[in-house]
Amino acid sequence: MFFGALLAITGCAMGVATGQQAEKHYKVTHSESEWRKLLPTLPFEVLRHAATERAYTGKLLDVHSKGVFVCAGCALELFSSDTKFESGTGWPSFWKPINAKAVDEIEDRTDGMVRTEVRCSRCGGHLGHVFDDGPKPTGLRYCMNSAAMKFVAAKKKL
């Protein structure tokens, strides 16, 4: 499959993107070949090589059900549907993570920009970036890749 049409590869590997922070030791770790076996191609490229899915192509963009968005690499709960909003950017956006320990935020100086990369705090998977142009109450926009997450619908109360 030709991934040029699916991805905008940023060209940075995990731990190399920023050059600003010592590599964290994550609770869930696998070798490159193990991750490749565990993950489908697009989630592998996004989570392990900081690729970005094309805007408006992600399967979670239009998910509006109640539930939780979890890491596609390790199933850590990342974002609640209660904090999801329509940013108009083409990627699922949230105004805060499910808790402060769910994600790591790291300075990213790739591609001639200074941004804040967002990673899963348990496996180090690249999720996307956070920007300061979101809605109240935080003013933040966590712009995430659908391929980096899975949606777990809330169980209906009887």
From CA 82, how far away is CA 39, in angstroms rounded? 27
Active-site option among 12, 71, 123, 143: 143
Tokens of 122: 């348990």
From CA 135, how far away is CA 23, in angstroms rounded? 31
Collapsed DSSP state (helix, strand, coil) of residue 79: strand
Nearest CA to 30 out of 102, 122, 119, 129 is that of 122
127, burial (CB in 10 Å: exposed 0-12, middle 13-18, buried 19+): buried
Tell me if residue 123 is catalytic.
Answer: no
From CA 127, how far away is CA 50, in angstroms rounded? 8
Q: Which helix (H) or strand (E) holds 130?
A: strand 126-131
How long, in residues, is the chain?
Answer: 158
- Would you name the residues annotated as active-site residues? 143
